Structure 1
Amino acid sequence: MSASEMYDLIIVGGGPGGLSAGIYAMRAALKTALIEKSVPGGQINLSDAVENYPAIKHIGGAELAMMFAEHAQTYGLEEINEEVTAVEPGLDHHTVRLADGRTINTHAVILATGGTPRKLQVPGEEAYYGRGVSYCAVCDGFFFRDKDVIVVGGGDSACEEGLYLAKLARQVYLVHRRDALRASRILQQRVEAECKMEVLWNTVVTEIIADDSGVAHVALQDTQTGAERGMPIDGVFIFVGFEPNNQLVPAGIRMTPDGFVMTDPQCATQIPGIYAIGDLRDKTYRQIVISAADGCTAALDAAHYVETRKAGKLDASCELPEALTHP
C-alpha cells in the first residue's frame, strides 16, 4: 500500500457487518481494504454458542467469526491489522488515518465499529461472560430454559429482555437500583402481570460467583439500607445501557442523543460516501444477522456510489455539511 494509492472502499471494523461488507464489496470488484485493530469477528468471538444464525443450528462464536473471515479472504479481501485514529471527509476523497502514521485515501468508507454493552463493573462479570453472564437474552436465553435468572436494569431493554426470558426460564428476577422502573408504562404493566417475574427494588448486584458449571450465586445489596445478602442463581443478564463505538464518526454526521449514527435505509450518512452499519447504526434490534445485512446493504450502495463517481456523474457542486467547513 503506497501513500498515494487510492481505494474504492475502506471498511473500518471486522465484525459480522464489516466482513459481510467486505464479501459484497469484493464481489462488486471494488478495490477494498478492511481495517481491524483486533481479531476478526468482533464481539461474537466472546459468545460461547450461537444458535440463531440462519442455516447454522449451533456453532461457537469464535468458530463463526473465523468462518466470516475465511469467506471474505476467499475473495482476496485486503486486511490491515491496525488501529484507525481518524476518518476525515473530503470533496475529492475521504482520508483514513492509522495509528502507525499511515494515511489511506478512499472514495467511500463503511464504519463498522460496533458498540459495547455497558458493564456493571462488579467482580465476576468479565470472568464469567459466556458462562452465565450475558448481555443478550435472544442470543443466550435458550440455554437457561427452566432455570432461575436475574435481569439487571430498569429501562425498556431490561423489561423487554426479562419478558422474553420469562417464556423460557423458571423464574426471572428483575434487579433495579431504584424504587420505580424507567421503562414505558405498557412494559411496566406487562412485567407486573407476568407471574414468572419478580422485581427486586432498590437492589444492586455487587458480585457474581460461579462454580465449575458456571454462574451459581450473586451478592446483592440494598441501596437504601446497605444490607447485603446472597442469592443462588443460574444466569445474570445485564441491560444497563449500550454504548456505540462512535469515536471515529466525523463531525457533522447526525447521531441520536445516545450516540448512534442516523442513516437512510441504505446505511448512508448525510456525507456522501460514508456509511454506518451494525451496532453503530441507530436501529431497533441488534443481532448478528442484522449486522451482516447492514454490511451487504452498505457495500452494494457504496459500489453504486463509487461507480457513479468514477463515471463522472456525481454532482460536482456537492458540498460538505456546514459543520465540516466551519469547525
Structure 2
Amino acid sequence: MEKVVILGTGPAGLTAAIYLARANMKPVVIEGTEPGGQLSLTTEVENFPGFIDGVMGPELIENMKKQAEKFGAEFRNGWVTGVDFSEKPYTLKVSGMDDMKTEALIISTGATAKMLNIPGEKENIGKGVSTCATCDGFFFRDKKVVIIGGGDSAMEEAGFLSKFASEVEIVHRRYELRASKIMQERAQENEKISWSLNKTPVKVVSENNKVTGLVVKNNETGEEEAIQTDGIFIAIGHHPNTEFLADQIQTDETGYIEVVPGTTETNIPGVYACGDVQDKKYRQAITAAGTGCMAALDVEKYLEGNVVQDWSQNL
C-alpha cells in the first residue's frame, strides 16, 4: 500500500517526486517505457533556467532523479499496463511486478511526437532532426531548415524558425494543407518560407554525424529528389501516452487528460495529471516541471484531508 505513486520520469514526474519526497510522502515513481521522456532524447538544452552554458537533456534528467532520491523518493523499473479506479485504494497493474495499491496517483506519462519512421530519422534525433522548434530553433541561426507537416503547428513552427534560419522549406505530402486559412496566409506571406508540396519524405541524409539533406518522393511522378538542409523539424503531431487508462479517466477527443483549470485535478478524486499528458499547447520542460510542482502540492493537500490506512496492519 502506497501513499502516492507517480507514473513517468520526465521533468513533470521528477519535480513532483522532489516536492513529495521533501514533504515526507515517500513517493514511489514508476519509470515507464522511456525513462526521462523526450528530454532523454535531447542533446543540449539551453532554455532551462539556471544553466548559463546549457545542459544535456539526459544529464538534466539524471540530476533531477538524484535530487528526488536524496529526499527519499523510491524508483522502480516497469510500466503500468492497466488501472482500476472503481474503488479506493486504486489498483495499478505494473509489468514485471505484483499489483500496486495507492491512495493517490500522479499521471505524468507525457506525450510522444509522431514520427515518420523513415531511414535516418531516429538515429539523427539531436543531430539535426528535431520535433521541437521552440527547443532547437536557436541552433539553426542563418542555416536552412526543412519542416515537415501541413497543420497549424507546422505553420506556427515554420514562422518561429524563420526568425533564426536563413530559409525554411515546408514539405507536405499533399497539395492541400490542414492548417487554418489564417495560418496558411501568414506562412505564404513570409519571404523566408518556401514550399515542397505533394511530396513524401523518404530518407534523412547525414554525413559526419550531422544532417545534410532530406530525400523526398514526388507523389505525381514517383521521382525522388534530395533537398539540401541543415535541420529537419517534424511537426505532424503528438499523441498522449494514455492508452493504459482504457477510458477510465476523462480526456479530450485526442486523448489528453482533462484537468480542472488552475489545478492538476482530474475527474477521479486523488488522481492528478501533469506535464505533456495534459498539455498539448506548450510542451516545454519548464512548464512540465511547473505542473509537476502543482500536482505534488495538490496531492499533499488531498492526503492531508484523507486518512491513509496502513494496509500492512491487515496482512
The question of whether the paired residues in 1 share the 8 Å contact of 2:155 and 2:183 is answered with: yes
Asked if 1:160 is matched to 2:156, the reply is yes
CA distance in 2, matches of 1:181, 1:60: 35
CA apart distance, 1:305: 0.6
Classify the secondary structure of the residue corresponding to 1:259: coil
Map 1:224-263; keep pairs closer than 5 Å.
Answer: 224-249=220-245, 251-263=247-259
Match of 2:312 in 1: none
Map 1:1-327; keep pairs closer than 5 Å.
Answer: 6-38=1-33, 40-57=35-52, 58-249=54-245, 251-264=247-260, 265-310=262-307
The question of whether the paired residues in 2 share the 8 Å contact of 1:244 and 1:260 is answered with: yes
Q: Normalization by structure 1: what TM-score?
A: 0.90
CA distance in 2, matches of 1:250, 1:207: 35
The question of whether the paired residues in 2 share the 8 Å contact of 1:47 and 1:61 is answered with: yes
The question of whether the paired residues in 1 share the 8 Å contact of 2:32 and 2:109 is answered with: no
Cα root mean square deviation, aligned? 1.5
CA distance in 2, matches of 1:117, 1:155: 14
CA distance in 2, matches of 1:228, 1:276: 44
CA distance in 2, matches of 1:239, 1:283: 13
Classify the secondary structure of the residue corresponding to 2:116: coil
Cα deviations by residue, 1:202-253 (Å, 9 ceiling, x for unpaired)? 1121111101150012111111221211121101000111011112225342
Gaps of 5+ in 1: 1-5, 313-327
2:165 partner letter: A
Classify the secondary structure of the residue corresponding to 2:226: strand
CA distance in 1, matches of 2:219, 2:264: 42
The question of whether the paired residues in 1 share the 8 Å contact of 2:103 and 2:308 is answered with: no
- Quick check: 37-46 or 22-31, which moved more? 37-46
Cα deviations by residue, 1:130-152 (Å, 9 ceiling, x for unpaired)? 10000000111111100000000
CA distance in 1, matches of 2:34, 2:182: 41
Residues 183/253 of structure 1: CA separation in 2 closer, same or farther (3 Å cut): same
The question of whether the paired residues in 2 share the 8 Å contact of 1:41 and 1:69 is answered with: no
CA distance in 1, matches of 2:122, 2:271: 34
Number of matched residues? 307
The question of whether the paired residues in 2 share the 8 Å contact of 1:217 and 1:233 is answered with: yes
1:124 partner letter: G
CA distance in 1, matches of 2:24, 2:97: 28
The question of whether the paired residues in 2 share the 8 Å contact of 1:256 and 1:282 is answered with: no
CA apart distance, 1:190: 0.6
1:24 partner letter: Y
Cα deviations by residue, 1:108-133 (Å, 9 ceiling, x for unpaired)? 10111111111111110011111000
CA distance in 2, matches of 1:228, 1:235: 19
CA distance in 2, matches of 1:250, 1:186: 36
CA distance in 2, matches of 1:8, 1:211: 51
1:214 partner letter: K
CA distance in 1, matches of 2:34, 2:167: 37
Classify the secondary structure of the residue corresponding to 1:68: helix
Q: Normalization by structure 2: what TM-score?
A: 0.94
Residues 122/250 of structure 1: CA separation in 2 closer, same or farther (3 Å cut): closer
Cα deviations by residue, 1:235-285 (Å, 9 ceiling, x for unpaired)? 100011101111222534221111111111211110101111111114411
CA distance in 2, matches of 1:114, 1:123: 25
CA distance in 2, matches of 1:65, 1:155: 31
Query: Quick one: percent identity of the two aligned structures?
Result: 39
Cα deviations by residue, 1:64-115 (Å, 9 ceiling, x for unpaired)? 1111111111101111112222221143311112112412211110111111
The question of whether the paired residues in 2 share the 8 Å contact of 1:88 and 1:95 is answered with: yes
